[in-house]
Structure 1
Amino acid sequence: MTALGFSSEYYHIKIEELLQLCDSKLDLQLTNQFPHIQADAVILFIGQESKNIADSLFQGRDTLIKAQQQGLTHFSTLIMFQQRAPQLGILALLKPIRKKYLDFSTQSYEIALSDIIDNHLERNLKTEETAYNYSDHNKWGVPKEQRQSRFHGIDLSFKEHGYDKNHPMAIMLCRGLGVKDKLHQGHHRMFFCRKYHIEFVQVQFLATNSFTGHLNTFFLWLNKTLKYKQVN
């Protein structure tokens, strides 16, 4: 397991938000260690919120400036992160241990909703009937009336104000089998984004560890074959 991990997908991130970041101080030639990554890729290097390590732009500033001059508002971006507990190897991918080392990016970013849908990041689809585990006995012990009230409150907020950027969804990098990005928080909001045809949403990225090298290739194949916790 190397010291760095990468998102399984590229995200169309708002250019303006990327250009506001400082350039990364990490001195590294990716093409030597990660030949599968395009040499001219725009790469966002997320920091660690709990340690106040800021997000930065690893490479691609000139590309983003040119894209912005051409009238583009969002650009396809790869996410890079420092493995949170590389010394633990595969153990850090087990849910109880993974939860202990999880850490968020220090900023949230506007991405295209289609990035979540088309890349099958959702683990389930919520509806009014299933929202907040509609049942008389759910594991959180929240009364049905309270869950319904919360659902309709969010519905009204979306209807009147659209997507609230102050409440970003969360995408966990390499969550599925240690290689596939998955939506971590926001499945209920996805319902309303579809309902009200929201084109762009705000997200925060988080990560623990990921597989690299041959293990990455194998588990990506396995993930695709099994469609592991995937909504099609």
Structure 2
Amino acid sequence: MKKYSYSSEIYHIKIEDLLSLADSPYHEISTPSLDEVILLIGQLKKQQQDVLFRGRKTLETALACGESHYPTRIMFKQRAPQLGLLALLKPFRSKYQDYSTQSYEISLSDIIDNHLERNLKTEETAYNYSERNKWGVPKDQRQSRFHKIDVSFKNHGYDKKYPMTIMLCRGLGVKDKLHQGHHRMFFCRKYKIPFVQVNFVATNSFSGQLKTFFLWLNKTLKYKQVN
């Protein structure tokens, strides 16, 4: 495994969010990525800040031309490269995962078109975390919570104080997936909200032949994918 890895997808991030970051001090990092703009996320637990790895001049030019969001690749340091295939197991993945230090405004279509959702929530299935409802919330409480969020979205839109979370390379170690925020996605669709706030969480990802194999497997099985 390489020390640094990339998101499987490109995200249209608000330019002002990216320009507010410091430039990366890690000049020794070589990257095969040809993307013009790269965001290197830090590690919240270690208080290592997110930085703009590449693309400040590109972003400044885009902003001057009236663009609001720019296609951006996310880069992250492997949290525990020694895990290897064990990184696919949830207990290990959960132990070593860490978050970006900032949240970012992205296009809702980045989540939908790239099939990042693992399920689609409805009023009937909201906050029902188990088919048997062993750890779920009683139905009356679920409906009450659902209604409160509905009213909030209707009156105020998406609240940036509550970002959704995208896990980088979660699906079989190669495919980004929505980690938290499936209920909010329902309301974003309902009220046609074009932009949402997200943060990123990462553990590890695969490279080389393993990456090629798991990308093929992910595509073939449509692993935990909503079409």
Q: TM-score range by the shorter chain?
A: over 0.9
Alignment of 1:72-221 (within 5 A): 72-133=67-128, 138-221=133-216
Change (3 A) 1:135 1:172: closer
Query: What is the SS of the residue equivalent to 1:140?
Result: coil
Q: Is the 8 A contact 2:128 2:137 kept in 1?
A: no
TM-score by length of 1: 0.94
SS of the equivalent of 1:65 reads helix
User: Residue 140 of structure 1: CA displacement?
Assistant: 2.0
Q: Give, in angstroms, the shift of residue 216 of structure 1.
A: 1.4
Note if contact 1:134-1:147 (Cα within 8 Å) is conserved in structure 2: no
Question: Retained in 1: the 8 A contact 2:127–2:136?
Answer: no
Residue aligned with 1:49, SS: coil
Alignment deviations for residues 125-150 of structure 1 (CA, whole Å, 9 cap, x no partner):
01111111189951324221111100
C-alpha spacing 1:28/1:135, structure 2 compared with 1 (3 Å): closer
- Cα offset for 1:27? 1.9
Please give the alpha-carbon distance, in whole angstroms, between the structure 2 residues aligned to 1:205 and 1:224. Answer: 22
Deviates more, 1:8-17 or 1:216-225: 216-225
- 1:138-186 C-alpha deviation (Å, 9 max, x unpaired): 1324221111100000000000000000000000000000000000000
Pair 1:60 & 2:55 matched: yes
* d(CA) in 2 for partners of 1:10, 1:136: 33
- 8 Å contact kept, 1:177–1:219: yes
Mapped contact 1:123–1:182 kept (Cα < 8 A):
yes
What 5-or-longer segments of structure 2 have no aligned partner?
Answer: none
**1:227 paired residue among 194, 207, 222:** 222
Report if aligned partners of 2:6, 2:76 keep a CA contact under 8 Å in 1.
yes
Any idea what SS the aligned residue of 2:73 has?
strand
TM-score (norm 2): 0.96
**Inter-CA distance 134–56: structure 2 relative to 1 (3 Å threshold):** closer
Structure 1 residue runs without a partner (length 5+): none
Q: Is the 8 A contact 1:14 1:111 kept in 2?
A: yes
User: Distance between the aligned counterparts of 1:87 and 1:191, measured in 2?
Assistant: 38
Aligned residues: 227
Deviation (angstroms), 1:225: 1.1
Q: Give CA-to-partner distance per residue, 1:12-64, whole Å, 9 cap, x none.
A: 00000000000111124535xx3xx21x5200000011111100000000110
